[in-house]
Amino acid sequence: MKGLLKHKNWLIALGVLLGLILILVILNFTLFALRDVEIDFKNQSTIFSDEAQENIANNSAISRGTSVFALNKTYIKEQLERDNPYLKVINIETVFPNKIILHCAEREETYAIRAGESRFFICDAEFKVLNIQAHFRDDQYNAILFEGLENIITNANRVNAGEFLEFSSDSKLLTSLGQALLENNKTIAQQRGLISTITLSSSIYPFTATNLPFFEIRDFNGFITNIYKPDTLLAEKFQYMFATLSQVVYNPSVFFAKDIEEGNITLEQIEEDYYLDYTLDIMENNQGALVIRLDKLNQSV
């Protein structure tokens, strides 16, 4: 008798458990079924109109009716960004019971990279290809022309808009460039208005006699800045650059430079009509301190 009663209790408990599971399954595909997709842009969008945002919300990667617990957010992000090159999905927020919010930003045209005859990759600061153009005009409204990368791009022949450029070397250095400029409170628009060309080159570093990469930066005033050992203290070196250029551009008769030999601050007079004939070198000395050197253009460094 006790065995039958115990067996009966187990059946009741199992029935209750199955009933709860059934209720959860029903709720999962009714109450928690995705119904609403909202898009929240963190910056002002000039490309994604209301209609474009509606198309994003209706992308096939977002399966309405699927439980919000079962959504593959990584897949959604990758598909949305591939289908919309200028879109950056920062994160996908679940709002219970049946809504998600796509927190997005509009990627900005930052660099123009030559990829052969009549072919330029227009990329953002993360080197995502936003579009591919046959011609490029270097001015203060367009992307910054980035030279010296042709030989290290490994997927130049197969990359499409919406995909990232891949590099055989210096990839971390290249992506750190945009972050260093942002740390100096330079928006993408300000960067494009200041910098005409960035070139990745290599040179014998004077303190170690080793061949290392450096950035050559030409601004729209014609001034050239070489930043050596850009893998260290890059943001600080840009700070030096902007501070020095502001002195040269706005007060070209006086230039503040740090003497490499003695390590003391010196004043060097520059003729106002000739200050564009100088190159600014920013590097580290053998004690790791930042130093500035001023040289005539085309003079060996």
Tell me the average pLDDT across 272-289: 61
Say which CATH number the domain at 51 has.
3.10.20.310
Residue 191 lies in a domain: no
Tell me the average pLDDT across 107-114: 96
Residue 238 lies in a domain: no
Tell me the average pLDDT across 283-293: 69
Contact by Cβ (8 Å): 241, 292? no
Give kind and range of the element (H or E) at residue 125.
none
Contact by Cβ (8 Å): 295, 301? yes
- The Cα–Cα gap between 59 and 100 comes to 13
Q: What's the domain count of the chain?
A: 1
Q: Give the best-scoring range by mean pLDDT among 38-52, 96-110, 275-289.
A: 96-110
pLDDT in the model for residue 299: 41
Does 255 score more than 50 pLDDT?
Answer: no
Tell me the average pLDDT across 13-38: 65
* Of 37-41, 106-110, 241-245, 278-282, the least confident: 278-282
Tell me the average pLDDT across 231-244: 87
Say how far residue 166 (Cα) sits from the centre of its chain. 14
Tell me the average pLDDT across 92-112: 94
The predicted-structure confidence for 58-98, as pLDDT tens digits, reads as follows 999 998 888 888 899 999 999 999 999 999 999 999 998 89
- The Cα–Cα gap between 75 and 216 comes to 39
Q: Which among 96, 35, 97, 23 has a CA at the least distance from the CA of 66?
A: 35
**Local structure of 292: helix, strand or coil:** strand
Query: Which of the pair, 18 or 85, is modelled with greater confidence?
Result: 85
Range of the domain at 72: 36-106
Does 259 score more than 70 pLDDT?
Answer: no
pLDDT in the model for residue 186: 94
Query: Which of the pair, 34 or 289, is modelled with greater confidence?
Result: 34
Residue 55 lies in a domain: yes
Q: pLDDT over 90 for what percent of the chain?
A: 49
Q: Is 83 left (phi over 0), alpha (psi -120 to 50) or beta?
A: alpha
Residue 137 lies in a domain: no
Tell me the average pLDDT across 172-193: 95
CA angle 57, 60, 65 (to 5 degrees): 80
Tokens of 59: 């992308």
Query: What's the pLDDT band for 292 if we cut at 50, 70, 90?
Result: low
- The Cα–Cα gap between 291 and 206 comes to 12
pLDDT in the model for residue 84: 95
Average pLDDT over all residues of the chain: 80
The predicted-structure confidence for 136-170, as pLDDT tens digits, reads as follows 999 999 999 999 999 999 999 999 999 999 999 99
Q: pLDDT over 70 for what percent of the chain?
A: 72
Query: What's the pLDDT band for 130 if we cut at 50, 70, 90?
Result: very high
Residue 77 lies in a domain: yes
Residue 69 lies in a domain: yes
